[in-house]
Structure formats: C-alpha cells, structure tokens
C-alpha cells in the first residue's frame, strides 16, 4: 500500500481499498458515487466528490488516462483563471499572446489575447492523479455500458477486460463523452450536433512566431468550422480543423491546408475526435445521475473549447452529488440544483456563443461577401486590437444593413467571449 495515500493504491488496472463489500474476485463493488470517464469533467467530479467525504470510484475505458489524445489543448487564460486552478509546468507546452485570424482572402486580423497550450494527456493524468490522491479509486480498462436504477440506488454494469462487473452506488456522474453510453442506456435524448475534428502534430512548425497561433475562417479552409495552427514548441506545431455538413471528411481539408502552409513537414502524431456544438443538453440531471462535460454538451459552441467548462461543471457535479448522497436526497428534483449552479456560472456564455454560431450558419452568400468587403476596407485589426469590436460591427453594418441581426449577439459575445 502507498504510504502517502493509504486509502488508494494500484494493483494491476484497479485501485483497491479495504472493504467488506467485495465481489467474488475480491474487488470492492459498492461505492457512494461512481464517476464514468476520466477526462477533465470526470476527474474533477471525482476529486470534488472525494474531498466532500464520499467513497468514489472513477472508471476509465482505456488502458491509460488521457490516451489516446484528441484535443487541441487550448485554454483561454481569462476564463481558466476563474477556476482558481494552478497548472503544473510539465502540463504546459507553451503560452500564446495573440491569435492571427485569416478570414478567407479578405483580411488578416490580430486578436491580442492570452492563451495557454497544454499537453492534453498530461493534463488528464494530472487531474486523475489529484483525484486518486484525494482517496478516489480508479479502474482503467473498464467500460461502463449500462446504468440501472432500483429502490433509490443505481447499478453500473461495466466490462473490464472480458469480465462483467456490477457496481452498486447511490449516485453517478456520467462524463463519458459525446457518445455517452450512459445517456443512451437511460433512454435520455442523445442527439447532438457534432463537428468532425482532425489534427496533425508536425515538424517543422510553419509559424513565424512561436507565441502566436493562427486561425483560418472560411469555407475553403474548414466548411462549417475553422482551422488552427498552434505552437507546441519552437520546432513543432499542431495543425487541425473542425468541419460540419461536408461530404468529404476532415482529412481532405486538413491535407489541403497542410500542403499550403507547411509543404515540407513530418507528421509526428495524428489525432481525431468529434466535438458537440449544439450547446448543453436541455436537461443535465436525472434520478441518481448527473451529466458533465461532452456528455452534457458543455462545450463552447462558437469555438469547440471544452476543457475549462468541463472542469468547472465537473467540480459542481462532484460537489452536488456528494451532498445529495450524504443527505439521501438523490431524486431528480434534488439534483436539479446542479443545473442551476452551472448555468449561473456559464449559462450566459453558452447561450451567447450558441446564438452566434447559429447566426453564422444562416449567413447568405451575399452577407458573407459583404463582410469580406467591409473587412478589406477598414482597419479591422486595429479595431479588434483596441477592443472596438462594436465599432467594427457598425462599419460592416453600413455595407450590409441586413446584418443588423448580429449587433445584439456581438455585444453579448464581447462581454462573455467566444472561447
């Protein structure tokens, strides 16, 4: 047993604790809370539940936490700092001071804003390690495939290698990604609008500055989404994109962009994933169960950013489920406080960025061209750099009055941010 953490230690793929509630193979089978998925939402929920004094099990379907990686790893500093959360230096790959935004062939804008680029596997592993050190039991190689409820309790059926485990608990936090098998097993709504994302880590980096990332907006780059090039180190970068509503897959568009921006390169890694962009689910709680992270659609619709909201919502979920379990109030009406709390923190941002995304989706060809022409004629970079986005919006409006529908959204996005 680990002397530092006597309540949690690893034997093979499973963390074992002393308990009279054990299955035939000697593994503990009864917990207060089970958290499914060890991404940022799940590990944050498990940590929060454990520090609030409930026995917590964290399930991860893969052999290693954070593997395979499938994220650009962009953190918008002003939002992340609100979490009062200090990242260790070995998780941080680089820091970015600005984003250079290419809008088709019309304009290149520079948005001065601080971002941190993280190594996503290391971030996930760090968060899971924090949870384990707080007393959480972690089972890897364990796929939760079904949840059933009976007499105020919840039973998680999980496949571990070739054996089936049935785990009893009072509460569950489902942070099992956009596919969320738990949501499906409970017969809850599962439809989310998805962007298909793909990225390469390449060497050498095509970026002129290793503290500036590049964003590409326009149908020729990434239909229904955008593309990015992010510095990882002085010599390497991640180049990727997300697309929606296309007949060709993301690889076609990514290969075109890669040939254009870095014709002589070596692909070090390839990462792909889908990101939900339809905003949070209409209901993120049910009897005994809370949903967090991608499983709840808690991703910023305008950017696909999910790390910060996942940690924030995961923490809230862990705290709520812990207090519910301790008080014996795990019915839906009691767990609804979770949704109230995350909406208090992030609801307006989700709403504003979803409205922005939906409005962009409705732009006509003429309106797109009007925006491009206006960007060519005004010093857009200066206006954005000086924070005069409303001034820029009015200048574009003069070119195309039908774009007046954007003004209220521009104001809200200016207040809440797009990342």
Spell out the SS3 assignment of 104-153: CCCEEEEEEEEEEEECHHHHHHHHHHHHHHCCCEEECCEEEEEEEEECCE
Tokens of 84: 């009062």
Q: pTM for the complete prediction?
A: 0.91
pLDDT of residue 201: 97
pLDDT in tens, 130-187: 999 999 999 999 999 999 999 999 999 999 988 999 999 999 999 999 999 999 999 9
Q: How many Cβ atoms sit within 10 Å of the Cβ of residue 347?
A: 14
The reply to whether omega before 169 is within 30° of 0 (cis) is no
Q: How far apart are CA 203 and CA 264, in angstroms?
A: 9
Topology (CATH level 3) of domain 9-66+122-191+278-347: FAD/NAD(P)-binding domain (3.50.50)
pLDDT in tens, 6-52: 344 333 344 333 333 444 455 678 999 999 999 999 999 999 999 99
Q: How far apart are CA 340 and CA 131, in angstroms?
A: 25
What are the phi and psi torsion angles at 183 (to 5°)?
A: -60, -40
62: left (phi over 0), alpha (psi -120 to 50) or beta: beta
* DSSP-based three-state secondary structure for 99: strand
Query: Could you tell me which residue, 225 or 366, shows the higher pLDDT?
Result: 225
Domain boundaries defined on the chain: 9-66+122-191+278-347, 92-118+194-276, 362-416
User: Which helix H or strand E contains 354, and what residues bound it?
Assistant: helix 337-361
Q: At what angle do helices 307-327 and 337-361 cross, to 10 degrees?
A: 150
Q: How far apart are CA 296 and CA 49, in angstroms?
A: 18
Q: How far apart are CA 305 and CA 299, in angstroms?
A: 6
pLDDT of residue 25: 59
CA distances from 340 to 150, 230, 322, 345, 347 (A): 26, 35, 16, 9, 9
pLDDT of residue 107: 79
**What would you report as the CA-atom Rg of the chain, rounded to the nearest whole angstrom?**
23
- What value does the mean pLDDT take over residues 285-304? 98
pLDDT in tens, 331-371: 999 999 999 999 999 999 999 999 989 988 988 888 888 77
Asked if the domains 9-66+122-191+278-347 and 92-118+194-276 are classified in one and the same CATH topology, the answer is no
pLDDT in tens, 81-101: 999 989 999 999 999 999 999
- What value does the mean pLDDT take over residues 53-69? 97
CB-CB contact of 274 with 195 (8 Å): yes
CB-CB contact of 292 with 173 (8 Å): yes
pLDDT of residue 382: 66
Compute the C-alpha angle 121/283/174, nearest 5°: 35
The CATH number assigned to the domain with range 92-118+194-276 reads 3.30.9.10
* DSSP-based three-state secondary structure for 10: strand
245: left (phi over 0), alpha (psi -120 to 50) or beta: left
CB-CB contact of 352 with 417 (8 Å): no
Compute the C-alpha angle 124/275/113, nearest 5°: 75
Strands 107-118 and 226-231: unpaired
Q: How many Cβ atoms sit within 10 Å of the Cβ of residue 89?
A: 6
pLDDT of residue 106: 76
The reply to whether omega before 221 is within 30° of 0 (cis) is no
């Amino acid at each position: 047993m680990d002397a530092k953490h006597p309540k949690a230690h690893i034997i093979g793929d499973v963390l074992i604790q002393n308990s009279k509630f054990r299955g035939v193979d000697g593994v503990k089978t009864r917990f207060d809370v089970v958290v499914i998925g060890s991404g940022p939402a799940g590990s944050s929920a498990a940590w929060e539940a454990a520090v609030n004094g409930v026995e917590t099990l964290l399930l991860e379907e893969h052999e290693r936490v954070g593997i395979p990686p499938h994220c650009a790893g962009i953190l918008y500093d002003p939002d992340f700092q609100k979490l009062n959360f200090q990242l260790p230096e070995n998780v941080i790959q680089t820091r970015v001071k600005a984003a250079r935004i290419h809008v088709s062939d019309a304009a290149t804008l520079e948005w001065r804003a601080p971002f941190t680029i993280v190594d996503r596997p290391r971030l996930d592993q760090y968060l899971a390690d924090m949870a384990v050190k707080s007393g959480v039991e972690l089972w890897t190689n364990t796929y939760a495939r079904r949840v059933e409820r009976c007499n105020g309790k919840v039973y998680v059926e999980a496949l571990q290698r070739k054996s089936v485990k049935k785990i009893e608990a009072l509460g569950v936090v489902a942070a099992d990604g956009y596919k969320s098998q738990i949501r499906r097993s409970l017969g809850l709504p599962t439809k989310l609008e998805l962007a298909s994302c793909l990225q390469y880590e390449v060497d050498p980096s095509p970026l002129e500055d290793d503290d500036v990332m590049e964003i590409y907006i326009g149908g020729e780059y990434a239909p229904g989404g955008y593309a990015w090039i992010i510095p990882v180190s002085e010599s390497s970068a991640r180049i990727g994109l997300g697309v929606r509503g296309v007949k060709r897959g993301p690889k076609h568009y990514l290969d075109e962009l890669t040939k254009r921006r870095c014709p002589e390169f070596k692909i070090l890694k390839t990462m792909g994933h889908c990101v939900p962009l339809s905003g949070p689910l209409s209901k993120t709680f049910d009897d005994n169960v809370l949903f967090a992270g991608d499983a709840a659609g808690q991703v910023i619709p305008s950017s696909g950013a999910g790390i910060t909201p996942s940690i924030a919502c995961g923490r809230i979920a862990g705290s709520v489920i812990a207090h519910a379990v301790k008080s014996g109030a795990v019915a839906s009406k009691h767990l609804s406080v979770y949704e109230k709390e995350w909406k208090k923190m992030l609801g307006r941002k989700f709403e504003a960025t979803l409205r922005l995304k939906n409005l962009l989706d409705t732009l006509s060809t003429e309106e797109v061209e009007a925006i491009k022409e206006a960007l060519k004629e005004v010093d857009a970079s200066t206006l954005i750099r000086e924070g005069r986005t409303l001034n820029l919006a009015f200048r574009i409006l003069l070119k195309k009055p039908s774009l007046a529908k954007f003004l209220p959204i521009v104001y809200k996005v200016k207040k809440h941010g797009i990342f």
